[in-house]
Amino acid sequence: MRQLLALGVAGLFAWSAAIASDLPAPFLQQGKNKGPLGKQKGGGGKGGEGEKQSKKDDESPSPPAPGRELESWGVIKEVKGTPFFTFDYTRVEGKKATRQSAFVKVADEAEVFTDKQVKPTDLKEGESIWLLGKAVENEVPSQTGITGIDRQFQNVLAIAYGEGLRVNTGYKDTRDPKARWFAVTVQKTGPSISVKYSGEVYKVVMGKSASIMHREKEGDAKALKSGAQVEISGDKSEEKPETKNAGDAKKSSFVAKKVAILDRRLTGSLYPMMIE
């Protein structure tokens, strides 16, 4: 009798093991780290910014690849009688910022762009944009007892879109340390904007004094004028203009491969957040 009982118990364990081996791994693991009704424990807190949010952080755009030897923005001034400009800009190394002045010659093949401040209603459905804000997800219970997810980009400080953009994805805002740049697609336009990010639709909640900028490509470099605020991307050059100022011999010289004419209305708001 005892032998028959032992054989029966062993058979039961073998049957259980066989069933378990046929189950997919996610089914076997789904009960881990969860509280009542399958909600995640810890890390998420209010707003659902736990494990799911950290996965979205991993999907964020990686920082731009290292650029050219000159990547900065400032003011240009024509060097009369030459194809050169003087370029006064701020160079930042670590936490130290120093004023610099260099010569710049725009290459014949250079790309030239113009920025323009626009309204939220100028955005178009399906357009790819950069958005500076904070992604938040909140569980929203319904009358039927089914829990939904309300997804928002809150306190959006800036939106930039168009051609030739280089965005400082490592930017940290002192007003909202959780805000960062996201690459998203416009889902719905009008007074209430929604965008698509990581396969989900988010409502856009604009912050106070938020800026929106559109960048368009120009035909050539003729649009560049003295006194213009510009963003320049270029490489070092040995060529310099001949001037009567002895101090100019010490200035660096660059050949610009890309120039964006900035909108002066945004120099105190959007550009310090967007340009490295």
Same domain, 100 and 180: no
Domain boundary among 200, 215, 230: 215
Same domain, 180 and 127: yes
Q: Which residues contact 116 (CB under 8 A, 6 or more apart)?
A: 213, 214, 215, 216, 263
Domain boundary among 175, 196, 215: 215
Report which of 155, 162, 75 is spatially closest to residue 117, judged by C-alpha positions: 162
Tell me what the mean pLDDT of segment 218-244 comes to.
Answer: 93
The range of the structural domain enclosing residue 85 comes to 70-113+217-264
CA angle 192, 194, 195 (to 5 degrees): 155
Q: Checking DSSP bridges between strand 252-261 and strand 96-117, what pairing results, if any?
A: parallel
Q: For residue 80, is it within any domain?
A: yes
Give the distance, in angstroms, between the CA of residue 181 and the centroid of all CA atoms in the same chain: 3
Give pLDDT tens digits for 247-266.
899 999 999 999 999 999 99
User: How does residue 144 score in pLDDT terms, banded at 50, 70 and 90?
Assistant: confident
Q: What is the structure's pLDDT at 205?
A: 96
Q: What is the structure's pLDDT at 106?
A: 96
Same domain, 74 and 131: no
Report the C-alpha gap between 130 and 259 in whole angstroms: 19
Give pLDDT tens digits for 84-120.
999 999 987 777 889 999 999 999 999 999 999 999 9
Same domain, 86 and 164: no
- 50 versus 76: which is more confidently predicted? 76
Same domain, 140 and 182: yes
In sign, the C-alpha dihedral spanning 92, 97, 98, 101 is: positive
User: How does residue 155 score in pLDDT terms, banded at 50, 70 and 90?
Assistant: very high
Report the C-alpha gap between 276 and 232 in whole angstroms: 12
Residue % of the chain over a pLDDT of 70: 76
Q: What is the structure's pLDDT at 273?
A: 95
Tell me what the mean pLDDT of segment 140-153 comes to.
Answer: 87
Give pLDDT tens digits for 21-40.
443 333 333 333 333 223 33
Same domain, 247 and 176: no
Q: Over 60: is that where the pLDDT of 124 sits? A: yes
Hey, is 33 helix, strand or coil? coil
- In sequence order, what are the beta bridge partners of 234? 70, 256
Q: For residue 187, is it within any domain?
A: yes
User: How does residue 67 score in pLDDT terms, banded at 50, 70 and 90?
Assistant: low
Same domain, 208 and 223: no
Same domain, 137 and 180: yes
Q: In the structure encoding, which two tokens stand for residue 84, read together?
A: 């050169």
Range from 56-60, 66-70, 128-132, 137-141 carrying the lowest mean pLDDT:
56-60
Q: What is the structure's pLDDT at 7?
A: 42
Same domain, 151 and 225: no
Q: Checking DSSP bridges between strand 180-188 and strand 229-236, what pairing results, if any?
A: unpaired
What values do phi and psi take at 84, rounded to 5?
-100, 160
Range from 36-50, 74-88, 225-239, 249-263 carrying the lowest mean pLDDT:
36-50
Give the distance, in angstroms, between the CA of residue 129 and the centroid of all CA atoms in the same chain: 9
Q: For residue 27, is it within any domain?
A: no
Q: Number of structural domains, the chain?
A: 2
Q: What is the structure's pLDDT at 255?
A: 97
Q: For residue 43, is it within any domain?
A: no
Domain boundary among 215, 233, 251: 215
Q: What is the structure's pLDDT at 24?
A: 37
Assign residue 102 the CATH number of its domain.
2.40.50
Q: Over 80: is that where the pLDDT of 194 sits? A: yes
Report which of 122, 110, 200 is spatially closest to residue 160, judged by C-alpha positions: 122
The mean predicted confidence, pLDDT, of the chain is: 80
Same domain, 126 and 244: no
Q: Over 50: is that where the pLDDT of 184 sits? A: yes
Q: For residue 10, is it within any domain?
A: no
What values do phi and psi take at 105, rounded to 5?
-120, 130
User: How does residue 53 score in pLDDT terms, banded at 50, 70 and 90?
Assistant: very low
The pTM is what? 0.73
Q: For residue 148, is it within any domain?
A: yes
Same domain, 81 and 105: yes
- CA distances (Å), 187 to each of 69, 78, 242, 257, in order? 37, 43, 54, 34
Q: What is the structure's pLDDT at 96?
A: 82
In sign, the C-alpha dihedral spanning 128, 133, 136, 142 is: negative
Kind and range of the H or E run holding 15? helix 2-22
Q: For residue 45, is it within any domain?
A: no
Report which of 41, 42, 260 is spatially closest to residue 167, judged by C-alpha positions: 260
- 243 versus 35: which is more confidently predicted? 243
Same domain, 152 and 197: yes
Q: How many Å from the N-terminal Cα to the C-terminal Cα in the chain?
A: 81
Q: Which residues contact 155 (CB under 8 A, 6 or more apart)?
A: 133, 134, 176, 179, 205, 207
Residue 274, amino acid: M
Q: What is the structure's pLDDT at 200?
A: 96
